[in-house]
Amino acid sequence: MTIYYATELAPRNAVPVGQVDGSVVGGHVRVRRATIPMINPAYQTTDTIVVALPDIGDAFLYGVINADVTMGSTTIAIGITGTTGKYRAATTFAAAAPTLFGASPAGGWPKLTAVETIFLTLAAAALPTTGTLTVDTFWAQT
């Protein structure tokens, strides 16, 4: 039977044996929560809302977006300046239920080499004027 190693564990199969990256194998997972009361102000389709300020060296794992009210035809993207859909492409978020986002690119999410301001961009319809929207992003850290 052949033994194969996952990409992150490949250094353990090298000669000489190497060390794995501690930020993604045995590292710590940190959550950055953003709670957005939708009562005031009334967020419009031209607005952006900052939801996370990760550190250099963090590696994005995934995110969860949740609301306690239905969102109608509100379209939400989560990303950075220049790539507003980096972490979540602009997609309708209608259900009042937790929704996972952050499909990993080929090879996984790299560690951040520069500071990023992660923000939510609204399109198609304004946010409702009642309820709470929560965005949790999860990051690997050493």
The pLDDT tens digits for 60-108 are 999 999 999 888 888 899 999 999 999 999 998 887 889 999 988 877 7
The pLDDT tens digits for 20-65 are 877 677 778 999 999 999 886 778 877 889 999 999 999 999 999 9
What does the pLDDT read at residue 124? 83
The residue with greater pLDDT, 100 or 8, is 100
Confidence of residue 142 (pLDDT cuts 50, 70, 90): low
What sections of 28-69 are H helices per DSSP?
A: none
Per residue in 1-32, is it b (16+ CB within 10 Å) or e — as a string? eeeeeeeeeeeeeeeeeeebbebbeebeeeeb
For the domain covering 27-141, report its CATH number: 2.60.120
Domain boundaries along the sequence of the chain: 27-141
